[in-house]
């Protein structure tokens, strides 16, 4: 599908919006209006999510065509939203909108090609169920930490992916913060006030424009320095990196928690480091929250529960 994100969502809206269609038509799998949307307000809500999802696809996956959307993109987007622990209602809205996007794509491609392309976004429901459990049922908590993150990292196919994953594991950076690093982001060395160890400093700008330092081991910092000195920058494809993690998890037969699972391990290790250094649990939560470019200590608590 050609055109801007907003043009594409307008075209997809035409494929699914049928003003005034009756409920019995919308729930009848044999009716032409099955799963369509009849409310302007609902359609406006769905399209707002689609626009945001389209921007996400373009920025993090390099995808400019909604027809190229796959389940892996839907799962990654849900995880991206879940990181900030939105309200249950908000996440339900996102899941519902992605379900309608699936229907719209099927209807659109049917009209365009004569037969539908295959789309299956059911993974959104599993992500929603996990998030509900995380918030409402303590014993249903979904711990996203990899049991053996170094084994997984060693299984990645390219050295650049190893280094990116290690920066997330040891520094707590988001994937967006390690996919592109320029020379001016390298800020040398300092002593980590928490561990007393010398560390390298990389400044990253992540979601919401939040800027801050990522502290990583010296061996890793020097390796990033070497790569930037040779190539002018450290750069990997977010899409290829994410897919490589997924494939490695499949090979190792472990649940894939995306690259964000490395951040979970960082959070748990860092809270322990704060406590060893004499900080209270609440002080540790707040300190780690700031390091991970959050603000509220309660967010870190989700990582370490």
21 neighbors 38 (Cβ within 8 angstroms) = yes
- Top pLDDT among 135 and 211 is at 211
The mean pLDDT of 72-86, rounded to a whole number, is 79
Give the pLDDT confidence of 269-300 residue by residue, as tens digits. Answer: 999 999 999 999 999 999 998 898 876 776 77
What's the pLDDT at 186?
96
In the structure encoding, which two tokens stand for residue 282, read together?
């609440």
What's the pLDDT at 223?
97
- Top pLDDT among 260 and 229 is at 229
220 neighbors 234 (Cβ within 8 angstroms) = no
The mean pLDDT of 76-83, rounded to a whole number, is 80
- Top pLDDT among 138 and 243 is at 243
What's the pLDDT at 110?
86
Residue 141 in this model has a pLDDT that exceeds 90: no
Question: Does CATH number 3.30.2230.10 belong to domain 149-304?
Answer: no
Task: For the full predicted model, state whether its pTM sits above 0.75.
Answer: no
The answer to which of 67-81, 109-123, 126-140, 226-240 has the lowest mean pLDDT is: 126-140
What's the pLDDT at 269?
93
Q: Could you tell me the residue ranges of all domains in the chain? A: 5-140, 149-304
Confidence of residue 86 (pLDDT cuts 50, 70, 90): low
Q: What is the dihedral of CA 197, 200, 206, 209, to 10 degrees?
A: 100
Residue 134 in this model has a pLDDT that exceeds 50: no
- Top pLDDT among 304 and 252 is at 252
Give the pLDDT confidence of 3-49 residue by residue, as tens digits. Answer: 999 999 999 999 899 887 788 877 777 788 788 888 888 899 999 99
What's the pLDDT at 85?
55
Q: Give the chain's mean pLDDT.
A: 87
What's the pLDDT at 138?
28
The mean pLDDT of 184-197, rounded to a whole number, is 96
Question: Does CATH number 3.30.70 belong to domain 5-140?
Answer: no
What's the pLDDT at 133?
65
């Amino acid at each position: 599908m050609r055109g801007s994100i907003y043009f594409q969502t307008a075209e997809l809206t035409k494929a699914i919006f049928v003003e005034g269609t009756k409920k019995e038509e919308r729930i009848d799998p044999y009716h032409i209006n099955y799963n369509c949307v009849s409310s302007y307000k609902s359609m406006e809500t769905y399209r707002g999510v689609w626009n945001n999802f389209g921007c996400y696809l373009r920025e993090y996956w390099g995808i400019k065509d909604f027809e190229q959307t796959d389940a892996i993109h839907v799962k990654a987007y849900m995880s991206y939203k879940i990181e900030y622990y939105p309200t249950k209602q908000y996440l339900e809205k996102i899941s519902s909108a992605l379900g309608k996007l699936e229907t719209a794509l099927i209807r659109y491609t049917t009209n365009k090609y004569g037969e539908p392309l295959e789309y299956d976004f059911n993974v959104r429901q599993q992500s929603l169920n996990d998030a509900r459990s995380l918030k409402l049922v303590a014993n249903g908590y979904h711990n996203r930490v990899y049991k053996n993150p170094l084994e997984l990292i060693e299984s990645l196919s390219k050295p650049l992916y190893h280094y990116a994953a290690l920066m997330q594991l040891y520094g707590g950076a988001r994937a967006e913060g390690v996919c592109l690093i320029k020379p001016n982001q390298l800020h040398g060395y300092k002593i980590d006030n928490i561990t007393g160890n010398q560390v390298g400093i990389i400044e990253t700008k992540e979601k919401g424009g939040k800027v801050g330092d990522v502290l990583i081991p010296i061996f890793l910092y020097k390796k990033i320095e070497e790569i930037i000195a040779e190539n002018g920058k450290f750069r990997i494809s977010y899409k290829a990196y994410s897919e490589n993690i997924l494939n490695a998890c499949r090979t190792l037969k472990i649940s894939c928690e995306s690259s964000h699972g490395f951040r979970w391990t960082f959070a748990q290790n860092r809270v322990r480091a704060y406590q060893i250094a004499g900080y209270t649990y609440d002080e540790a939560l707040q300190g780690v929250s700031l390091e991970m470019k959050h603000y509220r200590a309660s967010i870190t608590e989700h990582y370490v529960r």
